[in-house]
């Protein structure tokens, strides 16, 4: 089949390149299954709706896969409408984090299939196989809602979680990393990337047993972790850096140091490489120790992100047991990181039930005073989403504003007393760009001797077929 996998046009409330990577991982997986696939991140590329429509109309696609996300719901709805008119015979499928939380909402849109369980790739492939069979009414697929002439059929059991050896790593040549770099430019946004440095995202693990009830990973990827081999990750890094001007690696895993033996093997392999590959990761304070931090630093680690969430004692019961160690553990881990030359990036949940504006301020002030980086987001109760919600109501689950500000007022607080910690600005200056170093030239500089590629030359183009 000829397929378009796309993230629809969108103005993001938050940006993480790892969240956009499924566009290209799904495309790579489907190509390995024999399909002809175009991949387009129309959101990060700031495509107009006209450009998106050109792509859909001119592409001759038999299927269009729309990757959904919490704050891209308006784009998915509009993209589905465009597809219905411009490619009426094409199978239109959606898959992503939001459809796993609220598949019922997407059954109200102009879609033929909604992936709601298992790995994204397996769900999309199941929908395509249904289409290839002629879209029989009443058919069921694992983890996927299917719409036939008689209406929707519920999934035929849980979705399929693929073993790590079945994952297909994305083609970096089609990912618009230059656009991603631009979105990371202003570090005061507190997005996940390192400003002024080109990032390579390497998805190494899926699944997490920690069990935070405010996290979407366990229901989406499972409680049992699956992880690719360290050698495969290093091979991908080496090949990608050889072809494109990447400057650091972002390892994409729910809890990177969950398997400490794997991390040590990775660091051993990276240390044996003839060149240095700076990298960052995300984990928990609990899953770190002093020797491991030193090993990670020796292997090239420049930033570790951890879910601090809150130091407010009254809210400790909202956290899983491994995250209840509080400020003492934070200070211990920060000391290890400072000694090793690693930046500690701390996720803080603003408005977590049981916290107060004063308690949130104390948490952030303690992190600031210790010299670590704060990444605040607003508490978002995903469990409150319902299929009958409007597009506007769904878009409120954006991690930047409160879903129900009246609830905050009823507790005796003004929403702005919390939101100032998200939007009030910060004087923190990240040291990570200097720790990464710059290994590519700025556009216009003479780099003939080194043969390196400039950032502009490395920018992935929008699909030529639509131009």
Domain limits, the chain: 2-153, 184-436
Burial of residue 460 (number of CB atoms within 10 Å: 0-12, 13-18, 19+):
buried
Q: From first to last of the 467 residues of the chain, give the pLDDT tens digit.
A: 999 999 999 998 999 999 999 999 999 999 999 999 999 999 999 999 999 999 999 999 999 999 999 888 999 999 999 999 999 999 999 999 999 999 999 999 999 999 999 999 999 999 999 999 999 999 999 999 999 999 999 999 999 999 999 999 999 999 999 999 999 999 999 999 999 999 999 999 998 777 666 667 777 776 688 999 999 999 999 999 999 999 999 999 989 999 999 999 999 999 999 999 999 999 999 999 999 999 999 999 999 999 998 888 766 666 666 666 678 999 999 999 999 999 999 999 999 988 999 999 999 999 999 999 999 999 999 889 999 999 999 999 988 999 999 999 999 999 999 999 999 988 899 999 999 987 544 444 433 333 344 555 444 445 533 33
Spatial distance between the Cα atoms of 418 and 350, rounded to a whole number of angstroms: 6
**Tokens 């009030």 -> residue:** 424
**Tokens 């000391």 -> residue:** 335
CATH tag for 184-436 (out of 1.10.357.10, 1.10.3720.10, 3.80.30.20, 2.60.40.3080)? 3.80.30.20
CB 454 within 8 A of CB 245: yes
Can you give the length of the chain in residues? 467
133-175, pLDDT tens digit by residue? 999 999 999 999 999 999 999 999 999 999 999 999 999 999 9
CA dist list (Å): 205 to 142, 226, 230, 338? 22, 6, 11, 27
Spatial distance between the Cα atoms of 102 and 452, rounded to a whole number of angstroms: 46
Residue 226 backbone dihedrals phi, psi, to 5 degrees: -120, 135
Quickly count helices (H) and strands (E) in the chain: 18, 15
CB 222 within 8 A of CB 413: no
The hierarchical CATH code for the domain 2-153 is 3.40.50.2300
Helix (H, G, I), strand (E, B), or coil: what is residue 218?
helix
Secondary structure (H, E, C), 219-265: HHHCCCCEECCHHHHHHHHHHHHHHCCCCEEEEECCCHHHCHHHHHH
Spatial distance between the Cα atoms of 297 and 192, rounded to a whole number of angstroms: 19
CA dist list (Å): 264 to 231, 283, 297, 417, 435? 12, 15, 11, 43, 21
The angle formed by the CA atoms of residues 128, 129 and 135, to the nearest 5 degrees, is 85
Dump the DSSP string for 138-172: T--BTTEEEEETTEEE--SSSPPPPPGGG-----G
- The rounded radius of gyration (Å) of the Cα atoms in the chain is 22
Say yes or no: do domains 2-153 and 184-436 share a fold.
no
Q: Which residues pair with 249 in a beta bridge?
A: 200, 279
CB 255 within 8 A of CB 279: no
Spatial distance between the Cα atoms of 7 and 46, rounded to a whole number of angstroms: 11
CB 455 within 8 A of CB 440: yes
Spatial distance between the Cα atoms of 148 and 134, rounded to a whole number of angstroms: 10
350-387, pLDDT tens digit by residue? 999 889 999 999 999 999 999 999 999 999 998 899 99
């Amino acid at each position: 089949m000829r397929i378009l996998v796309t993230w629809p046009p969108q103005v993001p409330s938050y940006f993480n390149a790892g969240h956009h990577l499924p566009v290209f991982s799904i495309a790579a997986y489907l190509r390995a299954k024999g399909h002809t696939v175009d991949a387009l991140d129309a959101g990060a590329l700031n495509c107009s709706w006209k450009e998106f429509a050109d792509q859909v109309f001119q592409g001759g696609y038999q299927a269009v896969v729309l990757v959904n996300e919490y704050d891209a719901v308006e784009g998915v709805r509009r993209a589905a409408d465009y597809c219905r008119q411009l490619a009426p015979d094409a199978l239109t499928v959606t898959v992503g984090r939001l459809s796993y939380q609220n598949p019922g909402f997407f059954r109200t849109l102009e879609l033929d299939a909604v992936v709601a369980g298992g790995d994204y790739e397996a769900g999309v492939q199941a929908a395509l196989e249904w289409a290839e069979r002629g879209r029989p009414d009443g058919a069921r697929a694992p983890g996927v809602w299917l719409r036939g002439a008689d209406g929707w059929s519920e999934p035929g059991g849980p979705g399929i979680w693929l073993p790590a050896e079945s994952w297909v790593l994305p083609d970096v040549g089609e990912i618009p990393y230059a656009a991603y770099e631009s979105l990371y430019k202003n570090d005061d946004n507190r997005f996940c990337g390192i400003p002024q440095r080109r990032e390579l995202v390497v998805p190494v693990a899926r699944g997490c047993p920690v069990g935070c009830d405010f996290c979407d990973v366990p229901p989406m990827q499972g409680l049992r972790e699956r992880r690719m081999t360290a050698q495969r990750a290093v091979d991908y890094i080496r090949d990608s850096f050889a072809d494109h001007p990447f400057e650091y690696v972002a390892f994409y895993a729910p809890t990177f140091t969950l398997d400490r033996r794997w991390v040590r093997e990775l660091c051993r392999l990276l240390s044996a490489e003839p060149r240095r590959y700076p990298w960052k990761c995300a984990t928990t304070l609990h899953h770190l120790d002093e020797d491991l931090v030193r090993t990670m630093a020796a292997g090239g680690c420049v930033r570790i992100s951890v879910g601090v969430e809150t130091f407010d004692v009254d809210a400790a019961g909202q956290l899983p047991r491994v995250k209840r160690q509080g400020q003492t553990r934070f200070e211990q881990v920060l000391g290890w990181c400072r000694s090793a030359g690693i930046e500690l990036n701390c996720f803080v949940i603003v408005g977590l039930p049981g916290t107060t504006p004063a308690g949130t301020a104390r948490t952030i002030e303690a992190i600031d005073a210790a010299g670590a980086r704060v990444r605040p987001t607003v508490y978002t109760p995903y469990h409150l989403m319902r299929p009958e919600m409007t597009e506007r109501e769904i878009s409120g689950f954006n991690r930047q504003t409160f879903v129900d500000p009246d609830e905050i007022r009823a507790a005796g607080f003004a929403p702005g007393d919390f939101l100032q910690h998200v939007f009030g600005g910060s004087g923190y200056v990240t040291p990570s760009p200097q720790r990464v170093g710059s290994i590519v030239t700025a556009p216009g500089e003479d780099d003939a001797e080194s043969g390196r590629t400039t950032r502009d030359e490395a920018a992935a183009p929008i699909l030529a077929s639509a131009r």
